[in-house]
Structure 1
């Protein structure tokens, strides 16, 4: 570990990664998988956190279904802080659980919140950007990290800067949802937009105050559930709202958020189009013929079945042992409808 920051790191271990089904599922989501390496994305996230804080200042938030795997990964690094949600209620509720868990004595402390499922190879540049964000957040407000885009990506949200890059942290004008291709091209041309990493830093007291202002119903419901030891029935009525909507967007409207533009290689690994490029050259992937990709999942280190394809192209075949997905490149958006279809069918065990 390099020189430790006086901060806490909260790693949000939630979500299913629907667009990477069947490689990512409810009980074993993508952050517990490896993409081109030997360790999982979660393991890599914990190792990054240890670059800036000791294990005692790392807190992981996860769900009941994933808690055993998350606890095992945490224990390998001496991290004992694992908070378990009775059921998934969105990133706002998950962060609130972490805030409530951290001692009130830590009120002035800065907290770094980050997802567990990012792929970041340049850990030194990442740590430097985090240090900048923590230093800026110590004075108040919220500071997030944005990646300077090198292509017009449609799979990421964007952060619009309100000024030229005249300081380490630039005021944020607003957040934008994932754009279509033409809009993404315009974003990149202007130089005023960054990819939204959902990595942020803020003081404990600032986050509590802002959430109580913008999302009082969520704060009240979380507090009520915790008073009753996170009773599943009470927790089930906590509104499920993403942090971007509950905290980041209203804070940006009040000019409370700044962004640190960063240049390190960052990937969200949200679709099979991205994943195929990452695992290319590993045993998990085979090129059956030009334009056809076979991917082996959790039940095999490589694709064990034999396939014959005639007259097709741009296929991605994912063999996860108990099920095979056949799709084409560029159709990741359609994967979002899959959980509902599985839940309504006799195949709900495949979620």
Structure 2
């Protein structure tokens, strides 16, 4: 049976300010009420498969687990990469782990951040690939292009070996516009989707042939994996020493066993704000709006509001995206330069490219709603049955006001309950934690005061709840 391998390790910021390093696009709800990760798993319903195997960055582990839980999606494990090393090592880890008992499943490698609207065509292409993969071919899925696109690599079809399946003649780098137009007119070129199907053993054999250094490092990383609940952790030093390479460069461009199946399923990798505008449902003036938005005398624009009213008057071909801590305004044909803004944020050592104002934790979330030189106010939500880490601060005191639910407070060696409309004070240097013993979310307003209010002023005495 097919074992889907979901690559959820990306941390791109081309969709900034929605996408951040610690909350990238695969965890966002961009084209439906579900997140892109949830959509990726749910579209597999039409294909018989084992529970998917997820690969993600260590820093995204709780987001992945929570999104799977919320959507009631089963999985075969969540493998955590301590650092990103591209797709070849990631797929090698999945193949090695899946084949540890010589089960040799068919791996269906999918990215967690693609949009595929025609799920019937998607499922049919997967079914057509099964017999080819079982016959030791490495199958990739090429998207049937509908326009010249300079943002994708291409696959040139070779000889047809069976109905709607072709030998791979060549992998082609991202072209300029003239070459892309030639590829469309030629009719033998497909967009490279980055989706694959093959036996675990066949991929490992080809990887050993062409990149034995990657295979060796991945084997060493998995010699003694640590399991923690649903998480599988690698040997960090061994994986950090693994070469960085894509599956295309490492294997697919070199192997004689590559087969491409054309896929015409209304696909997009949502690589920019303009591509998201392309696939969004627009009004008669070509506008897409989401959130608290009022628009007038405007056309061909994408306007997204996350937190407050956004009004647009007389604008054309704009991308306007508002979050709690940032506002992006860009010409629709200039959105590739969003990466320049992210670079400037990094150079200025600002945090807006790393995470949102609202930060999610295993126990809940916290959102900074006001701050000044010596104070900071947070809205903290703790899920039922959850608890923060026991911790100490050396430079700040905290005042907690319960606005909903009941809090169980840990204060040095004692514990006590704080009900709605009650408060408690935590002085500097006192070990403390807060727990939600109830059945509804616990909401508190936390007022921090002191000379230093940053998150690194903390000593965790216990890690239950993972703190913040």
Superposition TM-score, scaled by structure 1 size:
0.87
Q: Is the 8 A contact 1:294 1:319 kept in 2?
A: no
Q: Is the 8 A contact 1:286 1:294 kept in 2?
A: no
Cα deviation, 1:224-278, whole Å, max 9, x if unaligned, reads: 2333542333322222212221122122xxx320111122211111111011234
Query: Who wins on radius of gyration, i.e. which is larger?
Result: 2
Q: Does 1:67 align with 2:67?
A: no
SS of 1:117's equivalent?
A: coil
Q: Which residue of 2 aligns with 1:25?
A: 20
Cα deviation, residue 189, structure 1: 0.4
Match of 1:248 among 252, 255, 265: 252
Q: Which residue of 2 aligns with 1:149?
A: 145
Cα deviation, 1:102-135, whole Å, max 9, x if unaligned, reads: 1434454311101011111211111110011122
SS of 1:67's equivalent?
A: helix
Q: Which residue of 1 aligns with 2:290?
A: 283
Matches within 5 A, 1:95-134: 95-134=91-130
Match of 2:9 among 2, 14, 19: 14
Q: Is the 8 A contact 1:106 1:204 kept in 2?
A: no
Higher relative contact order (CA 8 A, sep 6+): 1
Q: Is the 8 A contact 1:145 1:199 kept in 2?
A: yes
Q: Which residue of 2 aligns with 1:3?
A: none
Q: Does 1:39 align with 2:42?
A: no
Q: Is the 8 A contact 2:155 2:191 kept in 1?
A: yes
Superposition RMSD on alpha carbons, in Å? 2.4
SS of 1:188's equivalent?
A: helix
Higher percent of residues as strand:
2
Q: Which residue of 2 aligns with 1:304?
A: 309
* Distance in 2, Cα, partners of 1:286 & 1:26: 30
SS of 1:196's equivalent?
A: strand
Question: CA 1:338 to 1:215, structure 2 compared with 1: closer, same or farther past 3 Å?
Answer: farther
Q: Which segments of 5 or more consecutive residues in structure 2 lack a partner in the other structure? A: 226-233, 283-287, 355-468
Match of 1:316 among 304, 319, 325: 319
Question: CA 1:35 to 1:291, structure 2 compared with 1: closer, same or farther past 3 Å?
Answer: same
* Distance in 2, Cα, partners of 1:108 & 1:79: 18
Q: Does 1:233 align with 2:244?
A: no
Q: Which residue of 2 aligns with 1:273?
A: 274
SS of 1:19's equivalent?
A: coil
* Distance in 2, Cα, partners of 1:59 & 1:288: 46
Q: Which segments of 5 or more consecutive residues in structure 1 lack a partner in the other structure? A: 1-5
* Distance in 1, Cα, partners of 2:248 & 2:296: 41
Q: Which residue of 1 aligns with 2:259?
A: 258
Higher percent of residues as helix:
1
Q: Is the 8 A contact 1:143 1:260 kept in 2?
A: yes
Question: CA 1:141 to 1:292, structure 2 compared with 1: closer, same or farther past 3 Å?
Answer: closer
Cα deviation, 1:40-68, whole Å, max 9, x if unaligned, reads: 111111112233234x4310100112111
Superposition TM-score, scaled by structure 2 size:
0.67
Question: CA 1:337 to 1:142, structure 2 compared with 1: closer, same or farther past 3 Å?
Answer: farther
